[in-house]
Chains A and B, each alone.
Chain A
Amino acid sequence: DAGVIQSPRHEVTEMGQEVTLRCKPISGHNSLFWYRQTMMRGLELLIYFNNNVPIDDSGMPEDRFSAKMPNASFSTLKIQPSEPRDSAVYFCASSSRDRDGYEQYFGPGTRLTVT
């Protein structure tokens, strides 16, 4: 298995631009998580999907952030408009409670820089 795939690995954009981060979970996993990691705030859970349905989005910082999971093999996290304080590493993780218990498999992350 290729593991969790994220793209792009690095993104540099200007304030006000739209940013879309992409994630392909491990085949057969039915839970997907988006996290944000910064030095100041550590690892924060943004949103959690189960069977493609958003279950908990209480961690989404504000309306500029949105996430979708149109099918079991793809998810996006969109920021519109982006701001410098959104600069962080964004991780996608997937899991299958039935297959692996609660273990999460993380992607390599997307490093976002907003100037």
Chain B
Amino acid sequence: GNSVTQMEGPVTLSEEAFLTINCTYTATGYPSLFWYVQYPGEGLQLLLKATKADDKGSNKGFEATYRKETTSFHLEKGSVQVSDSAVYFCALYGGGSYIPTFGRGTSLIVHP
């Protein structure tokens, strides 16, 4: 079946540092890939997505590129802010399944 593996957290950074959160996946076919963000006390919300190989999703300074050859969708941001502190989930959907698959989530803590 499909699976998503994310790096374990928490990831702790100082403000303006560079962020990478790794995500790799296993799926049949050609799934769509997503990053969701969950702020404290809230539900998940879509951060960015990519629907085919080599697509780059971007939003709010975050980027991720759909790499089929390495089955990865790593999340990056050049300069994090305290307000980026949240839990980030990598997910896939499709690829032969109508059931979404989420990673375990990675907590990001940004200090001033």
Name A's B-contacting residues (CB within 8 A).
4, 31, 33, 42-43, 45, 48, 50, 55-56, 91, 93, 101-109
Contacts and interface: CB of A to CB of B under 8 A. Distances in A.
Contacts of B100: 33, 45, 102, 104
* Interface residue range, chain B: 10 to 19
Counting chain B CB atoms within 10 Å of each CB, the highest count among A4, A42, A43, A50 belongs to A43
A45 B105 CA distance: 14
Given A42-B105, A102-B32, A103-B34, A56 B44 contact: no
Contacts of A106: 36, 43-45
Given A106-B43, A106-B44, A43 B32 contact: no
B51 interface: yes
A45 B46 contact: no
Nearest to A107: B43
Interface in B92-112: 93-94, 98-100, 102, 104-105
A45 B99 contact: yes
Nearest to A106: B43
B93 A91 contact: no
Given A102-B100, A104-B44, A109-B43, 17 more contacts: A42-B102, A43-B44, A43-B89, A43-B105, A45-B102, A55-B98, A56-B98, A93-B44, A101-B32, A101-B49, A102-B32, A103-B46, A104-B46, A106-B44, A106-B45, A108-B42, A109-B42
